[in-house]
Amino acid sequence: MKQVSIVGGGVIGCSIALQLQKLGFQVHVLERNGEVGHGSTSASCAIVRRFYSQPEMIAMAHEAASIWAHWGAFLGPIDDDLAMFRRPGMLFLPPAMDETTDAIVTEMKKLGIRVSVLSAEQVKERFPYIDVSSHFPVRALEDPTFFDATEKQIAGAVFEEDAGYIVSPGLATLNLRLAAEREGARFLMNCEVVSIRQGEASRFQVETKDGTILPSDIVVNVAGPHSSVVNQMAGVVLPLKTRALRREVHAMVNPLFASSPRPDVPVVGDLDGGIYFRPDAGGRDILVGSADPDCEVKEWIDDPDEYLDTVTEAYRQRQCYRLMKRIPSMGLSPCRGVAALYDVTVQDWYPIADKTERPGYYVCIGTSGSSFKTSPVLGQLMAQLIKANEQGQDTDLHPLQLELKNIEMTIDCRFLSRLRGTLQTSGTVIG
């Protein structure tokens, strides 16, 4: 039985552990924190959507939505509450309703996804609390015209009827851990990896901070914001670069919660206004994050162990004021929220799920933003990719064809390869 060390116990690491253990590998998950899902996973808004520029990603997200909708059946029996999938829909406000948007909607409809295109007037009719003024190009808070009224309206919207979010990303990750442990996987908490060396009887010796050494035939880097650090330990250089990006998500009191009747606020990807937001705390709050407009300087972090992990007034103002422009009844709440690091593929913001030049060393990195929602499918993809390569298939020459059983479709996984070049994407993290 081949020994696998998975570096990182976030939602994707736990998902990979479950699938690899089912395939007959012996898996150890090494997590630097005291429990799974306490790193960047805990800061995820856990949005589940299918609106993506790449057809394969649309299909992956659609398959994942089906899994989240039947979460208990996917996991099998565990002794724990199950994470909940709330589905109020998701409204996208793109800067333009153009050929790119049309192509995405066409692809979504081809897969049977319930999606519709709305005019500004239809958005106002369906969601009367949303202001349909256009704020594109997005202006910085320091711009003297930031608060000026605009006579333009949004170009339109795309509404994904049954999109939504996972209420507790931490609970979902714990669910996966328990399912993996039921299959025989082992989890080592407070276990920081400090070196990955050539082994003698096995390919690798993985050493942790407390001096423990795990002989491993396979190492899987799922270390989130520490992924580039772990690659350096293993002596692995990839054609695509990942970096840690500091992000803040703020919570604001939802004034609509007291309304009668109370509206079911959707998830909103407001690319026109430079933010995304979703309801939280049973609808009492609204969480708001940045959609990375061009006017904002991204806060890249060189050392993922050294960053400010508390929310700041500067982030609160620019994100919350943008939300107040989109929902005028919002007031500026006290500063509440989370600050954390995301793991981003710098070139195109899509994950890298692949083998590497070092035999037995695999990566599933650059996953922040798109990949909480697709984590159940990424677990299957990585397990199948590892199995194929360990059995002699070179997935560089013969890319993995992953069967998406729920939507009855097969996708070519080379779009997540380290050798893919740069994809045409929105270049933003939503969720």
Give, in order, the Cα–Cα distances in Å from 317 to each of 11, 202, 311, 359.
30, 53, 11, 48
Q: Range(s) for CATH 3.30.9.10 in the chain?
A: 85-166+243-341
Average pLDDT in the 401-412 region? 98
User: CA-CA distance, 308 to 300, in Å (whole number)?
Assistant: 12
Class of the CATH domain delimited by 3-81+168-242+348-416: alpha beta
| Model confidence band, residue 201 (pLDDT cutoffs 50, 70, 90) | confident
Please give the full DSSP string across 284-301, using - where no structure is assigned.
TEEEEEE---TTSPP-EE
Phi, psi (rounded to 5 degrees) for 18: -60, -45
The mean pLDDT value for 283-304 works out to 96
pLDDT surpassing 90 at residue 208: yes
pTM: 0.97
Instruction: List pLDDT tens digits, range 224-281.
Output: 999 999 999 999 999 999 999 999 999 999 999 998 889 999 999 999 999 999 999 9
Q: What is the mean pLDDT of the chain?
A: 95
Report, as an integer, the average pLDDT of 376-389.
98
Closest CA to 2 of 202, 297, 146: 202
156 Rama sector, left if φ>0, alpha if ψ -120 to 50, beta otherwise: left
Mean pLDDT of all residues in 107-129: 98
Q: Boundaries of CATH 3.50.50.60 in the chain? A: 3-81+168-242+348-416
Model confidence at 428, in pLDDT bands (50, 70, 90)? low
Per-residue model confidence as pLDDT tens digits over 145-184: 999 989 899 999 999 999 999 999 999 999 999 999 999 9
- What is the per-residue pLDDT across 303-347, written as a single tens digit (0 to 9) for each? 999 999 999 999 999 999 999 999 999 998 888 999 999 999 999
Q: What is the pLDDT of residues 350-382, one digit of tens each?
A: 999 999 999 999 999 999 867 999 999 999 999
Quick one: fold of 85-166+243-341?
D-Amino Acid Oxidase; Chain A, domain 2 (3.30.9)
